[in-house]
Structure 1
């Protein structure tokens, strides 16, 4: 090993662990293309949080919780009793256990957290693995599935399903859970309409939407999210929940992120992501790498030969990308790349070109031998 390089463990078994999270690929000292969190937090969020530091000696107030709930309801044109504040969107999946589903259908490939927490309930789990290019049109949902979970846009494929496709999943006696953690980074093709396929504003007794603000506003360390559903569903999810599920700073962050200023910022970020994603796609094309599917979110999925080896060599070059070996329906040769600024993207693609050139050379030498 050359001096100054970093070596991955010899065994790649950990990359296939269903509980493995992408932040493990964003190691200290690496330029992070592994975690889908935007740069930040923005100044107005920092100011809002700083203003509340002096209040941390007191328990979170009902007024703060009410303000955050009102901000969410106003943003999505929902009633107050249709909103449940979450200690990070992942808590929303944990709370689904209270619904007592007997047969859960997980539309794959997708975020691994729902399976982890719902399997622990003892419910029957069906993996509904979509065929390439991972659209819902060919989803074969078991008729007796009473809970269906789908990501939109889906992590890690970056596929954005249409509302019409999601609507077709609905059946009497079935709840549809939509993970919209990255919905605020999506635009319609002309890039004039924000969140074109979001179901957050749909009032229906069988639709649950889980949202996050930690990705767009760079607050992953604070854990902030919310859930939108019918009041009856909200009551079931909230029953027996601990006191003060969100701290003062999380409530303050949620309120400001869902304010007019926050939403203007999110819309600006969505347009920056679209431009930076276009740049990433162009630069990848320059070195002969195409996206696995046309992306609509703040990350791009690619398929490269010897994916784990490529990831290891990029790590030695100072870059962290997300292995998708532990996603149902994908494999070790799938890598997820977060959208970053043009200058960072250029540096990554240069490193990828070196990695791929070296891999091709090794293949030629092995053929000669």
Structure 2
């Protein structure tokens, strides 16, 4: 099967599966905030319209200033990007031809971007269902690598790695002159998250990538940022196309990063729905990862392969994210986003039906 390599755009998935897209469906494959964008964006939308005849600031000064104050770092240590995907692409170009280790399972874009830039790729595979990250197991891989990709909290498992483990990795990579690309695309779904951005001042090889599209539900605008030592940011900036980020995305970003109340409301909602779902999965004997964010991996332990389960859900209009292109998962898990209460209820009803039949 030649299934789409990303979530969302379900029409492509149904075509690949040889099925017609149903009239009514729920897309659980994209990890976007189910609450939707902050209301301030709608309130300011007419103001944004007046700005579309103005070229965007190529240096994104205003947005960088706000992020610098919020994260307490220099503006010279920040690069604004057209979503996390562009930032990953820039890093891959920066690492062109280098030896790269990817801690798997992980966002497939790391491998795609690195292969496009002739990197030599090595996997460090974590084993389910716990997907524990052990520094001792990783040390030998780091010793011969130029860069390490690590997603925390992890996509697709939703697992948050201990801070002590991340620090150990940063220390070892610094000794071995190895870059660490720490993807924090979903960090703001974590309650009381202890940011690693201050550590760019202690670890010269640390590059942190963050997305603004997931928490603020603006994937159509494309916006993210990177934090690293100023020397790294200078080199990466030189690889970025001019006018990479549009004016409306920059204005939206300025509003979003100030909306702390929206973030708190989202975190509270996700926590409550996550607890409700996990309780259900336990009751009906599904295996689920120990997620701390707005998505999770799920599997039916009665099946070695999940393709029949996947196909059944599609027939019922429930669209999860397949995992065939996640090394080590190989389609044996399905990833679901946490959606609205009603949509989550409908998922549980379909899972009850599956369990009744199996």
What is the TM-score when the length of structure 1 is the normalising length?
A: 0.85
Counterpart CA distance in 2 for 1:288 and 1:269 is 28
Shift, 1:57, TM fit: 1.3
Deviations 1:14-67 (A, max 9, x none): 24xxx610114487741121110013112112223431111111211368x211
> 265-274 or 177-186, which moves further after superposition?
265-274
Task: State which of 90, 98, 101 in structure 2 corresponds to 1:102.
Answer: 98
Aligned residue number for residue 363 of structure 1: none
What is the TM-score when the length of structure 2 is the normalising length?
A: 0.88
Deviations 1:143-190 (A, max 9, x none): 120110000000111110122212222233111001110010012xxx
1:32 is the counterpart of 2:20: no
Aligned residue number for residue 182 of structure 1: 186
Aligned residue number for residue 155 of structure 1: 155
Which structure 2 residues correspond to residues 269-348 of structure 1 after superposition, within 5 A? Answer: 269-291=266-288, 293-304=289-300, 305=303, 306-348=305-347
Structure 1 contact 107–148 (Cα < 8 Å) conserved: yes
Counterpart CA distance in 2 for 1:22 and 1:72 is 29
Aligned residue number for residue 5 of structure 1: none
Q: Quick one: structure 1 residues 252 and 62, their matched pair in 2 at CA, closer, same or farther if it must change by over 3 Å?
A: same
Moved over 3 A (4+): 24-29
Shift, 1:240, TM fit: 4.3
Structure 2 contact 100–148 (Cα < 8 Å) conserved: yes
Counterpart CA distance in 2 for 1:50 and 1:287 is 48
Q: Quick one: structure 1 residues 147 and 107, their matched pair in 2 at CA, closer, same or farther if it must change by over 3 Å?
A: same
Structure 1 contact 107–127 (Cα < 8 Å) conserved: yes
Structure 1 contact 101–147 (Cα < 8 Å) conserved: no
Task: State which of 51, 70, 84 in structure 1 corresponds to 2:79.
Answer: 84
Shift, 1:76, TM fit: 1.2
Structure 2 contact 206–228 (Cα < 8 Å) conserved: yes
Task: State which of 244, 265, 269 in structure 2 corresponds to 1:268.
Answer: 265
Counterpart CA distance in 1 for 2:102 and 2:45 is 36
Which structure 2 residues correspond to residues 1-369 of structure 1 after superposition, within 5 A? Answer: 13-15=1-3, 20-25=5-10, 29-39=24-34, 40-61=36-57, 65-96=60-91, 97-100=93-96, 102-132=98-128, 133-137=130-134, 138-140=137-139, 141-169=141-169, 170-172=173-175, 173-187=177-191, 193=192, 195-196=193-194, 198-203=195-200, 204-259=203-258, 262-291=259-288, 293-304=289-300, 305=303, 306-358=305-357, 360=358
Q: Quick one: structure 1 residues 168 and 58, their matched pair in 2 at CA, closer, same or farther if it must change by over 3 Å?
A: same
RMSD: 1.8
2:50 counterpart SS class: helix
Shift, 1:139, TM fit: 3.0
Counterpart CA distance in 2 for 1:31 and 1:161 is 30
Structure 2 contact 174–204 (Cα < 8 Å) conserved: no
Q: How many residues align?
A: 333
Shift, 1:131, TM fit: 2.3
Counterpart CA distance in 2 for 1:228 and 1:73 is 10
Counterpart CA distance in 2 for 1:357 and 1:76 is 50
Q: Quick one: structure 1 residues 265 and 182, their matched pair in 2 at CA, closer, same or farther if it must change by over 3 Å?
A: same
Shift, 1:343, TM fit: 2.5
Deviations 1:322-359 (A, max 9, x none): 1112111113230111112332212111111212322x
Counterpart CA distance in 2 for 1:241 and 1:111 is 21
Identify unmatched segments of 5+ residues in structure 1.
1-12, 188-192, 361-369
> 24-33 or 76-85, which moves further after superposition?
24-33
Shift, 1:258, TM fit: 1.1
Counterpart CA distance in 1 for 2:214 and 2:24 is 21
